[in-house]
Amino acid sequence: MAFSMYAASVPLIKALLGGLSGVIDKAAAFAAAKNVDPAVLAADRLAPDMFPLWRQVQIACDMARGGMLRLAGREVPTVADVAPSLDAMKALIAETLAVIDAIPEAEIAGSEDRKVVLKMRAGEMEFTGQRYLIGYVIPNFTFHCATAYNILRHNGVEIGKRDFLGSF
């Protein structure tokens, strides 16, 4: 049995976004328990030249939403930046999951050879669907999810690997 593009992407994305939503819940509980302004967590970063938590979540959601829409052969709408708050991040994750849930599996099926063109600052990048998913979407998506997790863990939020993985 062939391993489909849908099976290679949607379950992983949904699990990690669910985990990301859960760690944001734990961050909110941590902030309340420790009397920490949640905006401080939202704005924190691991290094001066890295994006803050809110932007890591934004990019993870953009990558998930855009990746699945492109593989389905759909247009990717522009989404405004998320507000730098835990509540806004939770809402963005929920919206992203709703978009992904609304894409029928059949639209992603057979997208291995679909041409995907990204317009980047440095010019256009062209991929096959499979190369786009495996070499661009999944690595970027997991990087930004992991970085968001690491920012919160670095700040003392009690989360572990199981929180990152979500339910699978």
Close Cβ partners of 162 (under 8 Å, ≥ 6 residues apart): none
Q: Which CATH superfamily is domain 5-165 in?
A: dinb family like domain (1.20.120.450)
Count how many residues are written for the chain: 168
Instruction: Report pLDDT for 74.
Output: 94
Instruction: Report pLDDT for 168.
Output: 61
Would you state the structure tokens that stand for residue 142, as one six-digit string? Answer: 């997991």
Q: Which residues of 117-151 are buried (b: 16+ CB within 10 A; e: fewer)?
A: eeeeeeeeeebebbebbbebbbebbbebbebbbbb
Instruction: Report pLDDT for 82.
Output: 84
Instruction: Report pLDDT for 56.
Output: 97
Please report, for the chain, the start and end positions of each structural domain, with discontinuous segments joined by +: 5-165
pLDDT in tens, 16-48: 999 999 999 999 999 999 999 999 999 999 999
> What is the C-alpha to C-alpha distance for residues 167 and 5, in angstroms, rounded to an integer?
20
Ranges of residues in the chain whose predicted pLDDT is under 70:
1, 167-168
> What is the C-alpha to C-alpha distance for residues 93 and 21, in angstroms, rounded to an integer?
7
